[in-house]
Chains A and B, each alone.
Chain A
Amino acid sequence: MFVTVLFALLFYVATAIFLVGLGMRIARYARTPAPLKIPTTPAPTTRRGVVVRMGTEVLLFNSLFKANKWIWLFGFMFHVALALVLLRHLRYFLDPVPTWVVLIQPFGMYAAFAMVIGLAGLWVRRLFVERIRYISSPSDHLMLALLLGIALTGLSMTYLWHTDILAVKLFFTGLMRFELNPLPTQPMLLLHLFLVASLMVIFPFSKLLHAPGVFFSPTRNQVDNPREKRHVANVKWMIAVEKPAASADQ
């Protein structure tokens, strides 16, 4: 019961920090003006074009592909795998489980291996490529360790030390209704959950902010139309001297 209460509190707190922290950060990005047009050109000249550009950036890591095929390979592998694994985990939170979540289960299981390979590849590069080792701080290594820890503890429960997954599901669906159901005390499970909660807490204060950040990056999300449409923003140096004359535009 102690473990159950402890983890229930842990997940409430972690979720709150994650949501509030991330929300505040996103609000900050959204509120901060982008005073000048700075898309990295050639850039799309229409809003629709920007959606396509952002899509290829977020879904295919287009710029990274241009930059470095190895980082792209490992990074892409890790992110796609992570997405699949996360979607697969929806079955522990949704009742009844939607058909599509059932259908992706096998992919999600293989994805866990891809995730480990991707993370390991990135870490090997961080350790052995001189340039990347140079730019790494301890937190960059710890972040990889944390993600790898989550992946490996998860895998171990799938293949080595099975846990009472139905009880886990009851625990989490209970949390969502503010009910306490007992959490199995299997060490691998507790470690897995602790690491996940840590990740959620760290998220709004770390480089994981690249996830929302990319959508707010002016070099990628601005339309290249400064001559056609006057771009103005609410910043002191811009409006101090003159009256604004046209509507604001991204």
Chain B
Amino acid sequence: MANFETPELQETVEIPALKQDVMSHSRPFVAKEQFQAPLGFPGELADDWKDVAITKLGELLKTNRALQVFMDSCVKCGACTDKCHYFLGTSDPRNMPVARQDLLRNVYRRYYTLPGKYFPKLVGATDLTEEVLDQWYSYFHQCSECRRCSVYCPYGIDTAEITMATRDIMNAVGKGQKYSNEIIGKVFKIGNNLGLPQPALEDTLLGLEEDVKDDTGIDVRFPLDEKGAEVLVVTPSADFFAEPHIDGLIGYAKVFHAAGISWTLSSHASEAANFGLFIGSNENMKKIAMRIREAALDLGVKRIIFGECGHAWRVAYSYLNTLAGPFDFLDPRYPVPQHICEFTHDLIQRRVITLDKSRNDHRRVTFHDSCNVARASRMGDMPGGQFVIPREVIKAACNHFYDMAPETIGEATFCCGGGGGLLTDDLLELRVKGALPRMSALKQVVEEHEVTHMAAICAICKSQFSKVLPYYGFQMDQIISVHQLVSDAIVLDGQQ
């Protein structure tokens, strides 16, 4: 399939022996000027790029407490060294979270600390050179910003923050990543990551209405830009046509239909994802988030609900209020925003909708906790609701549910291997290898409980698993949307 070997699945998580530089060749395509300019970044390295980079680092240190504290606090205890899925899957020591952080920290020390200025060798401080920049580009695109390391760090150092800061610096000197920056450009120009314009979106949704009609005999609507709807649904654009995402979208529509709550999608904000997060650009993240506020105001909705998307939910749950709030024009009885799982869960609890579990009896299901939902957000009222609520929805929709090993789910969940702006074919080797811990855990429940499907609530997880499952001997359609289970189980009045 490609010029690398797929790792062998493991019984439990095994810590590999170090293999220096085995992944130094892995790097995504660099963004050309046409993809840099719309985001306000230079198109290529200028002569004074070092000064620009060091100045930018200084600015970030002054405006981001996390970065400043994280740069100073690491004691090199080693707690994080065996926690990254990319390290476990590749054996490259620079994929140990602390070693990845040190690529930036060593430069920080050189230019912003006394010992680094006067005794660089002693503290491992390094000059910023083109070689260092290349290492940044390579290894800060081998971090999916999944935060697993931050769970285990005694100081809560989150490599994701350091990755974001370094990508922000790289963009500032003109060394951006094509995949993320091209996508952000599409969001600004067209409204979504996939570059799906309004007419195409309208067509797709009409097609879906016909499909559901054929399937169930019921007129389930997929409204677009309908003013006065109760709920604005913001969902990843993959939900409009990618498999298995689209079955999730059909599930949301059926839930709204069954509950009798009016809703609409927006062509202005036809994308839940916010890749500004990935590249650590707060300006771009804010700009992308503002579309949602504008759409909500324009359509006059009372609530905002997000579809199944991991990092989108992080930006929505944790940042939307900050970036695009306050949302005092919405109905104060509901949290802003809500997750589709919170919405469906509540309807199930209140028996507003009915699910017939037996319709999913041909499936034996496990659940993959998506990293940014697990470690950067919440659902419901209590800490950890992000683990409980999706599982409650799944269990209400099917009879056979089995969790994977406890050290691979919940707050300890492993990233799918494609998050954080790495879901691109130029990083395929990394994606396949990074999926090793999750694939190993999946194999275990397949063997023990004859699990047939893994459900997820993240567009990236779904795309990533569709791609990498076959490398490990699974079928690509074994990954499904949580709302696909809901879609198949929900009882609609008058259904044929």
Interface string of A233-249 (1 = CB under 8 A from B): 00111100100011000
Interface string of A136-171 (1 = CB under 8 A from B): 111110100000000000000000000000000000
B153 close to A32 (CB less than 8 A): no
Query: Which stretch from A60-68, A94-102, A176-184, A185-193 is at the chain B interface?
Result: A60-68
Selected contact of B122 from candidates A136, A142, A228, A232, CB within 8 Å:
A142
By a CB distance below 8 angstroms, the chain A residues around B286 are 237-238, 241
Please indicate which of the listed interface residues B78, B99, B153 has the most CB atoms of chain A within 10 Å of its own CB: B78
Q: B74 at the A/B interface (Cβ < 8 Å)?
A: yes
Q: B62 at the A/B interface (Cβ < 8 Å)?
A: yes
Q: B104 at the A/B interface (Cβ < 8 Å)?
A: no
Contacts known (A137-B122, A213-B69); A235 close to B63, Cβ less than 8 A: yes
Q: A219 at the A/B interface (Cβ < 8 Å)?
A: yes
Interface string of A33-67 (1 = CB under 8 A from B): 11111101111110001000000010001011011
Interface string of B87-115 (1 = CB under 8 A from A): 00000010010110010000000000111
Query: Which stretch from A4-12, A81-89, A106-114, A126-134 is at the chain B interface?
Result: A126-134
B152 close to A139 (CB less than 8 A): no
Would you mind naming 12 contact pairs between A and B with Cβ atoms under 8 Å apart? A29-B69, A38-B376, A40-B147, A64-B152, A67-B153, A125-B78, A131-B96, A135-B98, A217-B70, A219-B66, A231-B322, A245-B325
A57 close to B154 (CB less than 8 A): yes
Contacts known (A64-B154, A135-B102); A226 close to B322, Cβ less than 8 A: yes
- Count A interface residues, CB 8 Å: 67
A214 close to B76 (CB less than 8 A): no
Query: Which stretch from B21-29, B129-137, B313-321, B419-427 is at the chain A interface?
Result: B313-321
Contacts known (A75-B77, A135-B102, A218-B65); A41 close to B282, Cβ less than 8 A: no
Q: A206 at the A/B interface (Cβ < 8 Å)?
A: yes
Q: B7 at the A/B interface (Cβ < 8 Å)?
A: no
By a CB distance below 8 angstroms, the chain A residues around B121 are 138
Query: Which stretch from B236-244, B377-385, B449-457 is at the chain A interface?
Result: B377-385
B96 close to A213 (CB less than 8 A): no
Q: B347 at the A/B interface (Cβ < 8 Å)?
A: no
A205 close to B151 (CB less than 8 A): no
A213 close to B155 (CB less than 8 A): yes
Contacts known (A32-B64, A42-B411); A230 close to B321, Cβ less than 8 A: yes
A210 close to B318 (CB less than 8 A): no
B326 to chain A, nearest CB (A): 5
- Chain B: CB-nearest residue to A232: B322
Selected contact of A224 from candidates B78, B82, B383, CB within 8 Å:
B383
A237 close to B65 (CB less than 8 A): no
By a CB distance below 8 angstroms, the chain A residues around B122 are 137-139, 142
Q: A42-B384, A205-B114, A227-B337 are in contact. List 18 more A-B contacts (CB 8 A).
A: A29-B68, A32-B65, A32-B68, A33-B63, A41-B374, A42-B411, A43-B378, A49-B383, A64-B152, A64-B154, A71-B77, A71-B78, A135-B96, A207-B73, A213-B72, A213-B73, A219-B66, A245-B326
Please indicate which of the listed interface residues A44, A137, A227, A235 has the most CB atoms of chain B within 10 Å of its own CB: A227
Which parts of B34-73 form the interface with A (CB within 8 Å)?
61-66, 68-70, 72-73
Q: B123 at the A/B interface (Cβ < 8 Å)?
A: yes
The 5 closest A-B pairs by CB, nearest first: A137-B124, A67-B152, A213-B73, A219-B156, A67-B79
By a CB distance below 8 angstroms, the chain A residues around B17 are 130
B76 close to A207 (CB less than 8 A): yes
Q: B207 at the A/B interface (Cβ < 8 Å)?
A: no
B99 close to A66 (CB less than 8 A): no
A33 to B322, CA, bound (A): 14
By a CB distance below 8 angstroms, the chain A residues around B142 are none
A219 to chain B, nearest CB (A): 4
Q: B75 at the A/B interface (Cβ < 8 Å)?
A: yes
A205 close to B63 (CB less than 8 A): no
A227 to B383, CA, bound (A): 13
- Count B interface residues, CB 8 Å: 74
A66 to chain B, nearest CB (A): 6
B151 close to A66 (CB less than 8 A): yes
By a CB distance below 8 angstroms, the chain A residues around B93 are 131, 134
B69 close to A217 (CB less than 8 A): yes
By a CB distance below 8 angstroms, the chain B residues around A210 are 72-75, 154-155
- Chain A: CB-nearest residue to B283: A237
Selected contact of B156 from candidates A138, A220, A227, CB within 8 Å:
A220
B126 to chain A, nearest CB (A): 11
By a CB distance below 8 angstroms, the chain B residues around A125 are 78
B446 to chain A, nearest CB (A): 27
A130 to B93, CA, bound (A): 10
B99 close to A217 (CB less than 8 A): no
Which parts of B139-160 form the interface with A (CB within 8 Å)?
147, 150-158
Q: B18 at the A/B interface (Cβ < 8 Å)?
A: yes
A64 close to B77 (CB less than 8 A): yes
Q: A216 at the A/B interface (Cβ < 8 Å)?
A: yes
By a CB distance below 8 angstroms, the chain B residues around A42 are 378, 383-384, 386-387, 411
Contacts known (A130-B17, A238-B286); A25 close to B72, Cβ less than 8 A: yes
By a CB distance below 8 angstroms, the chain B residues around A68 are 78-79, 82, 152
- Chain B: CB-nearest residue to A137: B124
B468 to chain A, nearest CB (A): 26
A68 to B384, CA, bound (A): 23
By a CB distance below 8 angstroms, the chain A residues around B147 are 40
Q: B345 at the A/B interface (Cβ < 8 Å)?
A: no
By a CB distance below 8 angstroms, the chain A residues around B62 are 32
- Chain A: CB-nearest residue to B116: A205
A217 to B102, CA, bound (A): 18
Q: A209 at the A/B interface (Cβ < 8 Å)?
A: yes
A61 close to B123 (CB less than 8 A): no
Q: B462 at the A/B interface (Cβ < 8 Å)?
A: no
By a CB distance below 8 angstroms, the chain B residues around A231 are 321-322
A166 to B14, CA, bound (A): 56
Contacts known (A135-B96, A135-B102); A64 close to B335, Cβ less than 8 A: no
Selected contact of B155 from candidates A28, A33, A122, A217, CB within 8 Å:
A217
